[in-house]
Chain A
Amino acid sequence: MTWDWKVFLNDDGGGRTYLEWMMTAWGWTLSVAIASWVVAMIFGSLMGTLRTLPNSPWLVRLGNVWVELFRNIPLLVQIFLWYFVVPKMFPAMKDVPGFVLVVLALGFFTSARIAEQVRAGVQALPRGQRYAGMALGFSTVQTYRYVILPMAFRIIMPPLTSESMNLLKNSSVAFAVSIAELTMFAMQAQEETSRGIEIYIAVTALYAISAFAVNRLMALVEKKMQIPGLIVVGATGGGH
């Protein structure tokens, strides 16, 4: 087998090279991932927090239903639901662009996983933290804002990092509703050029680079937010 990397300089029939097309597709992948990440973080933090509230059984139930609903349906099916079913149910959503619908699908899907992590992070804190907030005369909101959540988020940075990388990888499922992202490019360019291996290698490399960048970025945030001596993650239980 011979390599033919020049395939990326060929015209795709629309006045641009395959390389330019791939870079645009990479941009779409990153846009979908970043926008979904914002949605996932907002709803994940909110729902995860609701599930830990001490005296609001209905809000806890709402959080639980949210998580179970978005966690137990495959992402691809959820994307189809947002793309085909939701606009039919609510005619007002007919003019919403496909990009937004995919972002909502991927964002809500990931929010269920993040909510689970936030809940675990809050519950990992000693109960005394909550009492300390109450003893200071904080309201529930203030206790969460100033005492519990700042610590919980620091605890869950490692799983949050891997979930962010998962989100980037999951953005590839957007190909199913023809979002012009990397996987869509890979499938179409493979068919048009018959140089599948070169195309796939390039696309795979871009995914790996992006995932690595997410990993480094989250590590940077984790380091910046670190409070020395406050929480030691992963350094316990070393002695057998």
Chain B
Amino acid sequence: MFGFDLTFFNWDILSRFVINGFLFSVQLTVIATLGGIVLGTLLALMRLSGSKLLAVPATIYVNGMRSIPLVMVILWFFLLVPTIIGRPIGAELSATITFIAFEAAYFSEIVRAGIQSISRGQVNAGRALGMTYGQNMRLIILPQAFRNMVPVLLTQTIILFQDTSLVYAIGAYDLLKGFTTAGKIYGRPEESYLLAAVVYFVLCYSLSWMVKRLNNRIAIIR
């Protein structure tokens, strides 16, 4: 069809070029999600702490990150991290650090909205029981906030998985790179782009379908 030959993509090529890239994309997504949520929660707590000393730097960091294109952030870290630590690092490690730092800004907005969605009465109830700020957060607010946030966090993770393809800018070997490398070697670049699109679509569509179902179930519980 349309002069395409998709048959050349056999299991051998998949296992030799694509699997490694796929594993890196997944690994990057998982690490950046976990790291981003931890760092993002810290940033959110700083912004909600009521102390200017904590809130202002966190606000500048979050708004700064969110006003720059991800590709530029990737390039910045690739340039700066080796200068700071004094030795060259690989594109893969640089990408991992970048995505944790970048996603933290987006996750912190989600966490902040989640915390603010918990009614004041819950905070007051915790304080009436004599809980400290830390206990209140850990035992009362955050568990409820995170349960409300789960669908949004998962949606953000799907976006994050798509965004990992931008490590193309520094040449890290991810899922897309796996396809393009194979396409280059076998002289089938167009087919490899097409297959990459199909794989990304199937993965992201099924994930977002699952999030939608989860969303409906949570909605009933609430």
Contacts and interface: CB of A to CB of B under 8 A. Distances in A.
A73 interface: yes
B166 A207 contact: no
B147 interface: no
Interface of B: 2-4, 67-72, 75-76, 79-80, 119-121, 162-163, 165-166, 168-169, 176, 189-190, 193-194, 196-197, 200-201, 204-205, 208
Contact of A208 (B3, B67, B193, B208): B67
A186 B70 CA distance: 14
Nearest to B208: A72
Contacts, number: 102
A207 B121 CA distance: 42
Given A74-B163, A76-B168, A172 B119 contact: no
B205 A68 contact: yes
A204 B200 CA distance: 29
A85 B67 contact: no
B197 A81 contact: yes
The 8 closest A-B pairs by CB, nearest first: A172-B69, A72-B204, A74-B162, A169-B69, A74-B165, A89-B2, A172-B71, A240-B119
A23 interface: no
A157 B143 CA distance: 32
B208 to A, nearest CB: 7
Given A77-B165, A212-B67, A240-B120, A72 B176 contact: no
Contacts of A73: 162, 197, 200-201, 204
B68 A77 contact: no
Contacts of A225: none
Q: Which of A77, A84, A169 has the most CB of B within 10 A?
A: A77
Contact of B69 (A72, A76, A207, A212): A207
Interface in A210-236: 211-212
A200 B67 contact: no
Contacts of B166: 74, 76, 173
A175 interface: yes
Nearest to B180: A80
A88 B196 contact: no
A196 B77 CA distance: 11
A76 B176 contact: yes
Given A172-B72, A183-B71, A207-B69, A72 B200 contact: yes
Contacts of B72: 172, 183, 186, 200, 203-204, 207
B37 to A, nearest CB: 21
Given A81-B193, A190-B79, A169 B205 contact: no
Given A71-B204, A71-B208, A207-B72, 14 more contacts: A72-B162, A74-B162, A77-B176, A80-B193, A81-B194, A88-B3, A169-B67, A170-B69, A173-B166, A183-B69, A183-B169, A197-B79, A203-B72, A240-B120
Given A173-B71, A186-B72, A240-B120, A74 B200 contact: yes
Contacts of A204: 68, 72, 76
B168 A176 contact: yes
Contact of A183 (B75, B201, B208): B75
Nearest to A211: B67
A74 B72 CA distance: 17
A165 to B, nearest CB: 8
Contacts of A212: 67
Contacts of A68: 205
B121 A85 contact: no
